[in-house]
Chain A
């Protein structure tokens, strides 16, 4: 099984940088995803990490340390539209197929 932890809520100021952490415990790690979910909408894919290090994609970056069971999502130059829930999801092999388990999500509020 898996145990995924991320903060429930965070608040940050427009234009600032915010880091959302995710820790996990799994026996067959095979990748970590970050998704963004605006209120009332479906989750949308942001990033994917399977090797240690930083993946950068525009204003968003995601970091992974497999030995520590730790990832973070870094959002730069925050905009009001970044107010959303950010879901950490861990993939593992299970029965020959990929299984993805989601964390509870971090609700980010961006304030002026």
Chain B
């Protein structure tokens, strides 16, 4: 248990579906992240929120839409995804500044797009 939870843990969806991934952290952090992890590729940073403000969007397609209603919750809304979007989606949180802002990761959502 890292203090970061993600739901659902597994998700199978068709290309026309709309679904949302949820992340919640109980660590008092003010920075939250979405990563995509595909086989044989490095963790790809998708979005960063600091104090509920989006500070980074790494050229992510618009079919992925993040939402951060408060510093403890982060969502990733999915619509009209493609099969190549199948991957493990990891949420992480950290303190936004400081000498060692190690990131604490959630268990991830394994997404399969049919």
Contacts and interface: CB of A to CB of B under 8 A. Distances in A.
Per DSSP, are chain B's interface residues mostly helix, strand or loop, or mixed?
Answer: loop
B55 A95 contact: yes
Interface in A48-76: 48, 50
Contacts of A98: 96-97, 101
Interface string B82-114: 000000001000001101111111111000000
B61 to A, nearest CB: 20
A97 B41 contact: no
A44 B105 contact: yes
A31 B42 contact: no
B40 A104 contact: yes
Given A42-B107, A45-B102, A97-B50, A87 B43 contact: yes
Interface string B1-39: 010100000000000000000000000000100010000
Interface residues on B, range: 20 to 34
Interface string A71-112: 000000000000000010101001101111111110000000
B108 A50 contact: no
Contact of B2 (A44, A48, A105): A44
A42 B9 CA distance: 12
Contacts of B100: 31, 48
Interface of A: 4, 31, 33, 41-45, 48, 50, 87, 89, 91, 94-95, 97-105
Q: Which 6 A-B pairs give the minimum distances between C-beta atoms? A: A42-B105, A102-B43, A45-B102, A104-B42, A48-B100, A102-B42
